[in-house]
Amino acid sequence: MKKFNLLLTLTLLIIVSFAQDTTNNTFGKGLYNVIAKDHSYSMKFAVRMQSLYIGEWNVNDSTGIGAGSSQFLVRRARLKFGGFAFSPKVKYKIELGLTNRDISGASSHTKGAPRLILDAVVMWNFYKNFTLWAGQTKLPGNRERVVSSANLQLVDRSKLNSNFNIDRDMGAQLRHHFTIGKNFTVREMFSISQGEGRNVTDKNLGGHQYTSRLEILPFGKFASKGDYVGGDIKREEKPKLALGGTYDMHDRAVKTKSNQGSYMENDAGYFETDVTTIFADMMFKYKGVSMMAEYALRTAAQDSALNVDGTKTGDVVAVGSGMNFQLGYLFKKNWEVAGRYTLTEWDKVVTGKEAQTQYTLGVSKYFKGHKLKVQSDITYSETVGSLDNDLIYRLQFDLHF
């Protein structure tokens, strides 16, 4: 905690020192940009925050809407640093989370410390279109997860993402891209990671995680990397389409959701099993219309954790599948209406869980794109075989310097 407080103090001092100078930056482009006189390095510093209200009500098929609950919270508050070092071909990114939601998850595997670091990665463009990433960052998993939480079309990501994403990890990634003809773009990504999730300080348990992803953009690149931005903020003048697929194999995983979820402990220490996760996704944009779809599938070589003598521990791998479909339209005055349909289907025999469906309708007002916006959505969530369902309303303010 002392280190955490020291970091905050130093950051505030940096902000104060920057504030004493007039900057040529514009809103949304970072608080401060600096480039060395000899062009040997650069650094951009930015902050962002999200303030969120959530109201939830039980909806019973027989009695109607029941008692509700509400909550106000700072959903995210983050510090971001980025730039290049020594050469423009060597870039770096650091992102720190400050809210309880960002730093929660302390355990013996993180030495009981808050998980402050989100990203700490170096990206080296060492040869033509080949780039090597090293450090902790998002794995090349499902599209919705890789889209920054600052650039979401609705208040937050879908249940498909929360149940199946492979999030961040520590390791190395090799990325390459090439173009066929004038516009047809292909991207390849390969990753080898520790398989324990972010900020783990203990030695690796089980095996490593291997991820590969292929993306195809048949009509060329999106404006401002819009294939990883929610909504058609740039109002693409020509149709743009991105197709992606990910195959992830976690060798001897010890968690219930690959590198996420809880640890599967047994009488010998930790239960290990191979876990495979597959994603398929797409993004389409044209003149304010945006469409995103995803499919996820998780399987395991052995889906129930066992003790040495073969008895079940009670822990199971969260095997199953999910699909998510999102459609929106951005009006010319920067109001957007968007809808989402999400289905999660667990393997009931293994998990004991029923399928869940969610319907979401959202309205957003963009004052400066995703850098300054107000978003609101309402979700109806129903579970197969249950008379009790949920109605969820959310209102969020987002500010990103």
Place of tokens 């990103």: 400
In this prediction, residue 14 carries a pLDDT of 57
In this prediction, residue 6 carries a pLDDT of 58
Distance between CA 313 and CA 335 in Å, rounded? 51
pLDDT string in tens for the chain (401-residue length): 555 555 555 565 555 455 455 667 788 888 878 999 999 999 999 999 999 999 999 998 788 888 899 999 999 999 999 999 999 999 999 999 999 989 998 888 999 989 999 999 999 999 999 999 999 999 999 999 999 999 999 999 999 999 999 999 999 999 999 999 999 999 999 999 999 999 998 889 999 999 999 999 999 999 999 999 999 999 999 999 999 999 999 999 999 999 999 999 999 999 999 999 999 999 999 999 999 999 999 999 999 999 999 999 999 999 999 999 999 999 999 999 999 999 999 999 999 999 999 999 999 999 999 999 999 999 999 999 998 899 999 999 999 99
In this prediction, residue 59 carries a pLDDT of 93
What letter represents residue 72's amino acid? F
Neighbours of 321 (CB within 10 A): 19
Q: What is the dihedral of CA 375, 377, 383, 387, to 10 degrees?
A: 140
In this prediction, residue 7 carries a pLDDT of 58
In this prediction, residue 3 carries a pLDDT of 55
Structural contact between residues 235 and 330, judged by C-beta atoms closer than 8 angstroms: yes
What beta strand segments (E) does 258-387 contain?
260-263, 265-266, 269-270, 273-286, 289-300, 304-306, 312-316, 320-330, 335-346, 356-366, 372-383
Half-sphere exposure of 61 (CA within 13 A, CB side): 9
Handedness of CA 378, 383, 385, 391 (dihedral sign): negative
- 264 SS3 class: coil
Half-sphere exposure of 244 (CA within 13 A, CB side): 26
In this prediction, residue 32 carries a pLDDT of 79
In this prediction, residue 52 carries a pLDDT of 98
Structural contact between residues 124 and 89, judged by C-beta atoms closer than 8 angstroms: yes
DSSP secondary structure of 8-19: HHHHHHHHHHHH
- 270 SS3 class: strand
In this prediction, residue 12 carries a pLDDT of 55
What letter represents residue 48's amino acid? R
Residue 151, both tokens: 């650039």
Element of type H or E holding 144: helix 143-146
Query: Which of 191, 142, 137, 182 shows the shortest CA–CA distance to 162?
Result: 142
Distance between CA 257 and CA 365 in Å, rounded? 35
Distance between CA 364 and CA 310 in Å, rounded? 53
What letter represents residue 374's amino acid? V
Distance between CA 167 and CA 15 in Å, rounded? 30
* Residue-range domains of the chain with CATH: 48-400 (2.40.160.10)
Which pTM was predicted? 0.93
